[in-house]
Structure 1
Amino acid sequence: MELTYQKDCTNIDWDRVPELLNKVGMSSVDADKHRISFENSYAVVFVFDEKKMIGLGRSISDGVRQTALYDIAIDPTYQGHGIGRKVVDILLDATPDCNFVLYASPGKEDFYRKLGFKKMKTGMMIFADPKRMEDGVFVDK
C-alpha cells in the first residue's frame, strides 16, 4: 500500500465519491452535488492508494468555535489499517481549538468513541428529506 492524503479538490474523480459512500453503506447524491459540498467545505481530505481513491472526509466550520465532520468513508478493503483515524486527525488538525460534531453511520459509533467522541443527549436535526429518515435508524421515532 502506497497511500497519499490530498487536502484539496484538485483532479478529483467526483463519480468515485458517491460510489465510495455507497460502498460503505452511506447515503449519497449525484457527483456534482458532492463536488459542490467538498469545494465549499472548510477542510477536505482524499486518500489514494497510488491513483485509486480509497477514502475521503470533509469538515465545515466557522474556524474558531465549531466544526462538523461529514462524509468520512474508507473503502472496506482498506479498513482496519488506521486510515480512518488519519482522515479524522487531518480534519481535527484543520481547526484545533473548535468543538467537533458528527453523526456516525449506524454501527460506526465505536470507531468514533475510540477517537474521543462522546454521544450527545441533545443533538437534534431537521432533514431536507424527512421521508428518508422515517426508518428510525438515524432518528428516534
Structure 2
Amino acid sequence: MNLIIKNDCINVDWENVATILEKVGLASFPSDVRKKAFENSYVVVFIYDEVKLIGCGRAISDGAYEAAIYDIAVKPEYQGKGVGRIIVQNIMQNLPDCNVILFATPGKEAFYGKLNFRKMKTGMAVFRNPERMHSKGFIE
C-alpha cells in the first residue's frame, strides 16, 4: 500500500465517499449531503491507496474545548491494516486540546478503546429514526 493522506475536500469523489460509508453500515445519505457535512467540518481526512479512496473521517469542533468525530470508515478490504488508526490519529492531531466524543458502530468499541476512547456513562441522544438506531444497537 502507498497511502496518501489528504486533509481537504478538493477533488473528492462524493459518490465514492457515500458508497464507502454505506458499505461499512453507516447511515445512508446522498453524496451532496455527505459533501455538505464534510465541507462544514473542522477536520477532514481522506486516505488514498495511490489514487483510490479507501477511507475517510471527519470531526466537528468549536475550536476551543469540544469536538466530535463522525464518519470514520475504511473499505472492508483495507480494514485491519492500520488505516482506521491513521484516520483517527490524524483527526486528533488536527484538533485543538479538546474533549472528543464519537459514536462507535456497535461492535467497534474495542477498536476505539485501543485509541484511548472510553465508554461514557451519561451519553444521551435524540435520533431522527430511533427505531432504526435501536435495531442497530445504538440506543436502549
- TM-score w.r.t. the length of structure 2 is 0.95
Runs of at least 5 residues in structure 1 that lack an aligned partner in the other structure: none
Q: Which residue of 2 aligns with 1:86?
A: 86
The 2-side partners of 1:133 and 1:44 are apart by: 25
What are the superposed Cα offsets for residues 19-53 of structure 1, whole Å, 9 maximum, x if unpaired?
A: 10121122220000000000000000001111110
Which residue in the other structure is 2:33 paired with?
33
Give the Cα separation in 2 of the matches to 1:69 and 1:46. Answer: 14
- CA–CA distance in structure 2, aligned partners of residues 82 and 134 of structure 1: 29
**How far off its partner does 1:136 sit?**
5.9
1: CA distance between counterparts of 2:48 and 2:20?
12
Q: Which residue of 1 aligns with 2:9?
A: 9
Please state how far the C-alpha of 1:96 moved relative to its aligned partner. 3.9
Task: Indicate the percent of aligned positions where both proteins have the same amino acid.
Answer: 51
Q: Which residue of 2 aligns with 1:48?
A: 48
Q: In structure 2, what is the Cα distance between the partners aligned to 1:111 and 1:131?
A: 26
Whole-Å separation in 1 of the counterparts to 2:95 and 2:39:
17
CA distance in 2, matches of 1:129, 1:31: 20
* Cα separation, partners in 2 of 1:22 and 1:39, compared to 1, 3 Å: same
| Aligned equivalents of 2:88, 2:17: Cα separation in 1 | 17
- List, as ranges, runs of 4+ consecutive aligned residues in structure 1 with deviation greater than 4 Å: none
Q: Quick one: distance in 1 between partners of 2:136 and 2:112? A: 21
User: Any gaps of 5 or more consecutive residues in structure 2?
Assistant: none
Amino acid at match of 2:139: V
Distance 1:77 1:44 in 2: 22
- Determine if contact 2:45/2:91 at 8 Å carries over to the other structure: yes
Partner of 2:126: 126
- Cα RMSD for the two superposed structures: 1.1
| TM-score w.r.t. length of structure 1 | 0.95
